Amino acid sequence: MSVLGEGQPLSLPINMAQQGAALQICNLELVKGGIEHMKRKCSELQQLIDEQEEEKATLQREIEKMSYKLTQLNDSLSRKVAAKREYDRTISETEVAYSKILESSQVLLNMVQREASCLEHVMVKKINAEDTFPSCMFR
């Protein structure tokens, strides 16, 4: 009697063949399923990449718009600061000139008042027929 028995040598290869075929089918399904799973993940990642690329492009356009606006604002600001500086300079010069005019006007007013007083004194003396002249006339 053999160790394996009489019918076993024939059934063993068939059983192994069936198991091999089943294993091969299982491997194919695993590989196919794994590949399909990876393809789905790849597709999902591509969708996320596309969305982020679009968001990136949108942000880039906004940055360009803001950069242009910032440049325009800086140019406008520079012109306004220069104009204000010119106004400040003109105001300062005008105030100095006005101060000098006021000072000159005060000097002129004092001189006119002194001369008017002197002239009035002379006229009073002439009217009174005096021959003396005030000292202010001989400067």
Q: Classify each residue of 17-49 as buried b or exposed e, where b means 16 or more C-beta atoms within 10 Å of its C-beta.
A: eeeeeeeeeeeeeeeeeeeeeeeeeeeeeeeee
> Which residue in this structure is represented by tokens 């406008």?
76
Distance from the Cα of residue 59 to its chain's centroid: 15
Q: How far is CA 129 from CA 117, 122, 125, 135, in A?
A: 18, 10, 6, 17
Long-range Cβ contacts of 14-21 (<8 Å, 24+ apart): none
> Rounded to an integer, what distance in angstroms lies between the CA atom of residue 47 and that of residue 62?
23
Q: What is the pLDDT of residue 135?
A: 58
Q: What is the pLDDT of residue 13?
A: 61
Give CA angle at 11 (8, 17), nearest 5°.
Answer: 140
Q: What is the pLDDT of residue 1?
A: 43
Divide the 139 residues of the chain into consecutive groups of 10 and give the mean pLDDT of each group.
48 72 80 86 98 98 98 98 98 98 96 92 79 55
> Rounded to an integer, what distance in angstroms lies between the CA atom of residue 14 and that of residue 98?
122
